[in-house]
Structure 1
Amino acid sequence: MGSATDVYAQLKEQLKSSKAEILFPSDGEKYEESIKRWSEHCEKRAACVVKISSADDASATVKFVKENKIPFVVRGGGHSTSGSASIEDGLVIDLSLMRGVTVNPEKKTVRAEGGALWVDVDEAAAQYGLATVGGTVNHTGVGGLTLGGGYGYLSGKYGLTIDNLLQVEIVLASGEQVIASETENPDLFWAIRGAGQNFGVVTAFTFRGYEQTNQVFAGPLIFLPDKLPQVVEFMNKFQTKNDGNQAFLLGFTCPPPAHAPVVLTQVFHNGTQEEGNAFFKDLIDLGPVANMTSMMPYEKLNAAMNEGQGFGGRKMFGGGAYKLPLAPPFVQALFDEFIGFSTTQPAMTDSILLFETIPYAKVVEVPNEKMAFSNRGEYYNLATMIKWANPALDDTVREFSRALLKKASQSAGVVQDEKVRSTEGVGVYGNYVNPDVPASEVYGGNAKKLAELKGKYDPENLFDRGTRLVPRPVVVVN
């Protein structure tokens, strides 16, 4: 077999008339930049990175890897900590050149190319007084968040990101370019919404937009640990007090510069400052050591938690779930355990355990069988985001996160046995788990249908880097 450059000469010839960039390790800084990921834990040295510029480029590249039996991955925003957007020695289909966003103010739709980040969508939509449901950090890729479900500040009012997805433009394993929507390839559209990583390269998303001309009240309130019981009591009240226009995040962390334990809250109200202060009055009256709430344009909201969330360092997400009300002693025990672990290493102190109290009433209006996504239930997402520096701690971090989240989820009233997963929400957010988690844990009763659709749209399991819907083929070496 020839060198990587020789092997990819055919692809370079096919893409020579496009604006695509093909990078190899010999390309120095441009290549090194292309394999960077939000977490260094996920960085791998690909043999080739193809920065596509169009759906035609994606189609040509998919056909090429299929014909030449080259393992590959697809990279959108590079924000995942599962490692599924990186590959050692194989090929990366990199969408980062495709960040265009087009808004149709009459139809109130927003079309984002496959490599767009949420900052691109938020800012483009805002020019027309519109917004759609995005994430809570705006340098996250649109593709990864959407294909896995998508919770955001507007979910309490409008549901998940996938509930507002009107169609996708996707390149299948055959190289064919198709549209998937409720009326075109509806079974594929069913699968895309929750398991999209397994079915192709999505080169564009079209979302429903909503009028969002008013500013919003939002920002962090930071408390010393002694206020944790009262903060938990407020969170319990939030369950019945909110009307879908609010969100409340509660986190445990040791932020710089002091790296001392704090109780971090992020509040959101889609309305005036007076309304926001009134809604969160009990919390504000507790006397936070820092009150950074203010009025801000919606498009600035998703940048509010960017600090400390930049690229670099080793990071890992983990996911669980909880129901309200929670007993303050139970939450205190989680605080003690998480802070105890995250202060064992200096690089870990900026880790966070996060209770994402985003109202679910609108989310559960859609049945779990309506689409592949299966995490709809009367509960909230619990997440860990652990940072560390020493590669020798990789397994230790993973095991701690899994054990803590499992214990917390079970103790917080979300049972995740097989019987419950087959009939109710699974209690696991797919964007927070690693691909080695069984499909039944992420998709519950939808796992069987997904496996069948995988056979229809990707019979050779070309797209095999997400949650495994079908077994990977066994390679027999003679």
Structure 2
Amino acid sequence: MATSLDEKQSSLKTFLESHPGIKYIPPNGPDFSSLSALYVCSSPTTPLAVVRPQTADHVAALVSFCTAHAIQFTVRTGGKNIFGLSSVQDALMIDMRDMDSIQIDKSKSSVTVGGGILQAKLAGALAKEGLVTPSGSLGFVGLVGWSTYGGYGPLASHYGLGLDNILGAKVVNAEGEVVVADKELLKCIRGAGGAFGVIVELTVKVYPLNHLLGGMIIFDSQDLIPAYEKFNAGYQTLLENGAIPLELDVQQFIVNTPQGKALAVAVVWSSDDHEAGRACLAKIEALGVVVMNTVESQTLAQYVEIMMSAIPPVAYGSCRTINVRKWTKETSQILSRGIHRMPSLFGTAFSLHELRGPSAAPNPDSVFATREPHFMLEFISLVNKEEDVKESEEWGASLRNEILQKDPENVLPGTYISLTPPGDVPLSKIYGPDANYQNLLDLKKKHDPQNVFNLAVPKLLES
């Protein structure tokens, strides 16, 4: 017999009476709206309640309770998932953000963090020791979710993806036990994240780096399409000539500004040799007419804070991505046309990520499949007005589909799961080839045969 919502609430309250250390925020609580709020507001949901465990044992008790009482639950490590997947209607939200401990090992080669650590806090703590670990560009993102599903970011070409830097993990498994992940479970975590358990602790590599060079370069965009095409032609030449070291990350954007559409480039030089960095950056600056340059010496913590300040606290909409092997003439022409018709809506944008060096090298100890040099094209529809969502998303979908249709041989089968709408691309393609995907399914059946973590990404088994 199905359990009613009131019965679930009642059993949860009874459970929490014997676990007073777990913070409880019911739907009628004064802080519920703010603590359950997500970055994207397009599909608002009301979870059963929000609980904030303080220890791994708290998480284990919650998983056991939910399993015993047939209560669905989600796990929130940061809450910045583009598709709002950490909140499901009437499911219990296990909010990990109070579990944000940081412990740097004595050799300063790794750091062990709690499952709810945000990237800004970790970057700040590491900066005090002259250290970094790969992260995304936005400090409000949870490290665990970012890294275990891939972990693209401005240090990836130098140090590898986020998942490449995972050394160990402590997990609450489907039986509600706190376990240290073995080699097999770690392989699953590196690419399939929380589908195999709640990650309550993660150990990742760290690297010595006091200050990077980072910031935005804005180019004269009065004639945007020619400026964009000139930049990319020049950049491809630099790549082909080996003039872009792995220490330099270049991420292009076409964004809407009060003055119109603009070509903006986020650059990060991840080495303390700033003289060499300035020389490399001069080659990037020479690819157009620079109207603004904010690049300066700073810590990674400062960089992610600055980048975060440029992002609105909430948005409506979503993103779509596609991976292409090379920067072909056909792809360039399609994108030029797409940029020309990009809606002039704040939050509508196009971004280009590049995977090369260690970020594009095979990693047999992970289930992440897209391990070859490629460009990830990101069509961003994260607008600040709900009425603008439809136009922005239709533009992104149309442009993505045009590349699929007109340059199919250049398109990789898989996409980046963190930026792919659920169901938009088959998991067999994201985690392919077929033998790898089947192995992932077999491991899911072994570690979570009852599909306890059925609301986690990816959804490998039917509920």
Q: TM-score, normalised to structure 2's length?
A: 0.90
- Which of 436, 446, 462 pairs up with 1:456? 446
Do the aligned partners of 2:8 and 2:71 also contact (CA within 8 Å) in 1? no
Where in structure 2 are the equivalents of 1:106-145 lying within 5 Å? 106-145=107-146
Give the aligned partner of residue 476 of structure 1.
none
Q: Per the alignment, do residues 303 and 135 of structure 1 end up closer, same or farther by CA in structure 2, a change over 3 Å counting?
A: same
One-letter identity of the residue aligned with 2:362: V
Equivalent-residue separation in structure 2 for 1:458 and 1:394 (angstroms): 37
What residue in structure 1 maps to residue 191 of structure 2? 194
Q: What's the CA shift string for 1:256-307, capped at 9, x where partnerless?
A: xx15111111122234444333213243233212111112123222234223
Q: Is the 8 A contact 1:236 1:326 kept in 2?
A: no
Correspondence for 1:366 = 362
Gaps of 5+ in 2: none
Alignment of 1:118-197 (within 5 A): 118-180=119-181, 185-197=182-194
Residue identity in the other structure for 2:447: Y
Instruction: Confirm or deny: 8 A CA contact 2:74 2:456 kept in the other structure.
Output: no
Partner amino acid for 1:376?
Answer: R
Matched, 1:443 2:444: no
Q: Does structure 1 conserve the Cα–Cα contact (< 8 Å) formed by 2:347 and 2:384?
A: no
Instruction: For 1:388, give the aligned amino acid.
Output: V
What's the counterpart of residue 45 of structure 1?
46
2:214 matched to which residue of 1? 218
AA aligned to 2:348 is S
* 2:318–2:380 CA contact under 8 A, matched in 1: yes
- Decide which of 393, 406, 416 is 1:429's aligned counterpart: 416
> Is the 1:222–1:288 contact (alpha carbons within 8 Å) kept by the matching residues of 2?
yes
Structure 1: distance between partners of 2:249 and 2:427:
29
Residues 173 and 394 from structure 1, CA distance in 2 versus in 1: closer, same or farther, beyond 3 angstroms? farther
Aligned partner letter, 2:381 = I
- Alpha-carbon offset, residue 413 of structure 1: 6.7
Q: What SS does the aligned partner of 1:144 have? A: helix
Identity %: 22
| Contact 2:316–2:382, Cα closer than 8 Å, also in 1 | yes
In the other structure, the counterpart of 1:334 is 335
The structure-2 alpha-carbon separation of the partners of 1:288 and 1:412, relative to structure 1 and needing over 3 Å to count, comes to: farther
Which 10-residue stretch deviates more, 264-273 or 126-135? 264-273
Amino acid paired to 1:234 = G
Structure 1: stretches of 5+ with no match in the other structure: 417-424, 474-478
How far does residue 40 in structure 1 lie from its aligned partner after superposition? 1.0
Seen in structure 2, the aligned counterparts of structure 1 residues 218 and 414 have a Cα distance that, compared at 3 Å, is: farther
TM-score in terms of structure 1 length = 0.87
Amino acid in structure 2 at the alignment position of 1:153? P
SS of the residue corresponding to residue 442 of structure 2 reads helix
User: Is residue 207 from structure 1 mapped to residue 204 from structure 2 by the alignment?
Assistant: yes
- For the pair 1:15 / 2:15, whether they are aligned, the reply is no
1:382 to 362, 365, 377: 377
* Residue in structure 2 matched with residue 264 of structure 1 by the alignment: 264
- 2:408 aligned with 1:408: no
CA drift of 1:107 comes to: 4.7
SS at match of 2:370: coil
Partner of 1:422: none
Deviation string 1:400-428 (CA, Å, 9 cap, x unpaired) is: 43442243366567655xxxxxxxx7441
DSSP-derived class of the 1:167 partner: strand
Give the residue type in structure 2 aligned to 1:386.
Answer: S
Displacement after TM superposition at 1:123 (Å): 1.2
Write the deviation string for residues 224-257 of structure 1: whole angstroms up to 9, x where unpaired.
11421221123213423222111101111112xx
Cα distance 1:203–1:259, how it changes in 2: closer, same or farther (>3 A)? farther
Alpha-carbon shift at residue 83 of structure 1 (Å):
2.4
The question of whether the paired residues in 2 share the 8 Å contact of 1:38 and 1:310 is answered with no
* Residue-pair matches, total: 448
* Partner secondary structure for residue 111 of structure 2: strand
Distance 1:61 1:245, change over 3 A: same
